[in-house]
Amino acid sequence: MSPQRSGFSLRDWPLRLPRSRNGQIALALAVVYLVWGSTYLAVHVALGSFPPLLLSGLRNLFAGVGLFVFAVRRKPIPPSFAEIRNAGLVGTMLVGLSSGMLAYGMRTVGTGTAAVMVATVPLFASVIAAVAGRKIGRGEWFAIGLGLVGIAILSHGDNTPGSAGGSLAILCGALFWAGGAHLAGQLKLPSDLFLSTALQIGLGGAVSTLVAWVSGERMFELHVLPMLAFVYLMLIGTMAAYVAYGYLIRHTSPIIASSCMYVNPVVAVVLGALLLGEPVTRYTVVATIVILVSVGLSFWFDYRKKRGA
């Protein structure tokens, strides 16, 4: 979740994994590429039984508890109360609000469209950094503007009833993710990445679950496919994928770790077209290309700035 570095390895995960470092990196990339790309399909299916906020809350709450059990077994340095509080705040932004708004928006927005919109997170991150006082160059502003053009194209091509409100909710979710990532870089979090991730996911999920319950969300009917999708989101989409992403943050460059931003939308669009029959219009194709180019440019300009610093 947060870009902390600590003694973290995929060997800590209780599964048989490749022995070589390159093999573990390849496995981690495959997980974040394919799994996070497929979570949009899983959310779409799970919404057949789960209300959106409750889906996000329970999925992350249970996953956080599971990760916490594994984290404690590694005997990390116990976090302070302030670190736990900060993890809860970051988790509320990254998990409770971001995932909840995504699920809420996907009631009316297709899986591929949602994934392309979420790819705008680095653009929102640049805007938040500018508001926080960091100097943003012309190239980065151009990338942000190009991303907005891509969103406009994507929205113009989606005439589904209620899609405008759903798209706004998903963009708000992307904004919350970028805000949470910014806070994660500013606040003191538990030094152990595994424990920090578990606390963020678990506490963020608990907040989302509480909000869902207070707002009146309830589950009345359970169906097999939505339940299977929920289990997939909890075990694979959250627990396994975040562990893999944490490994990439620890052992690769930020560019490699963030490359999922390019691949996830493509995977989501393909799965939505093949399994749900979602139309891949020219607007979808053009908007996807425009947004991914804008994200690529934002990474490139950020890399050049850090290299020249």
pLDDT at 209: 94
Q: Is the pLDDT of residue 284 over 80?
A: yes
Closest CA to 120 of 185, 176, 68: 176
Confidence of residue 86 (pLDDT cuts 50, 70, 90): very high
pLDDT of residue 258: 73
Q: Give residue 16's pLDDT band: very low, low, confident or very high (50, 70, 90).
A: low
- What pLDDT shows up at residue 233? 96
Q: Which residues of 33-69 are buried (b: 16+ CB within 10 A; e: fewer)?
A: bbbbbbbbbbbbbbbebbbbbbbbbbbbbbbbebbbe
Please tell me the predicted confidence (pLDDT) of residue 2. 46
pLDDT of residue 13: 53
Q: pTM to 2 decimals? A: 0.83
Determine the pLDDT at residue 301: 78
Q: What are phi and psi of 220, to 5 degrees?
A: -110, -35
Lowest mean pLDDT among 141-155, 197-211, 254-268: 254-268
What is the predicted pLDDT for the residue at 55? 94
Categorize the per-residue pLDDT at 84 as very low, low, confident or very high, splitting at 50, 70 and 90. very high
pLDDT for 252: 76
pLDDT at 4 over 70: no
CA gap 49, 17 in Å, rounded: 34
Residue with tokens 């809860």: 88
Question: Which residue in 255, 237, 269 sits closest to 31, CA to CA?
Answer: 237
Whether the pLDDT of residue 275 is over 80: the answer is yes
- The single residue listed with the structure tokens 């998990």 is 95
pLDDT digits (tens, 9 = 90+) for 144-194: 888 888 888 877 766 666 678 888 999 999 999 888 888 888 889 898 878
**Residue 238: partners with Cβ closer than 8 Å, 6 or more residues away:** 59, 60, 63, 201
Cα separation values, 2 from 27, 98, 161, 181, 196, Å: 20, 14, 36, 6, 8
For the stretch 297-304, contacts whose Cβ atoms lie closer than 8 Å and that sit 24 or more positions apart, written own/partner, are 297/139, 297/140, 297/142, 297/143, 297/146, 298/122, 298/123, 298/126, 298/140, 298/143, 298/144, 298/147, 299/122, 299/255, 299/258, 301/137, 301/139, 301/140, 301/143, 302/126, 302/140, 303/255
**Averaged pLDDT for residues 6-16:** 53
DSSP secondary structure string for all residues of 45-114: HHTTTS-HHHHHHHHHHHHHHHHHHHHHHT-PPPPPHHHHHHHHHHHIIIIIIHHHHHHHHTTTS-HHHH
Average pLDDT, the chain: 85
* Between 232 and 75, the higher pLDDT residue: 232
* Biggest CA-to-CA distance, the chain: 57
pLDDT of residue 12: 57
Residues 134-151, mean pLDDT to the nearest whole number: 84
pLDDT at site 50: 94
For the segment 214-263, what is each residue's pLDDT rounded down to a tens digit? 999 988 788 999 999 999 999 999 988 888 887 787 777 666 777 787 88
Stretch among 34-38, 162-166, 301-305 having the lowest mean pLDDT: 301-305
CA distance 94 to 194: 16
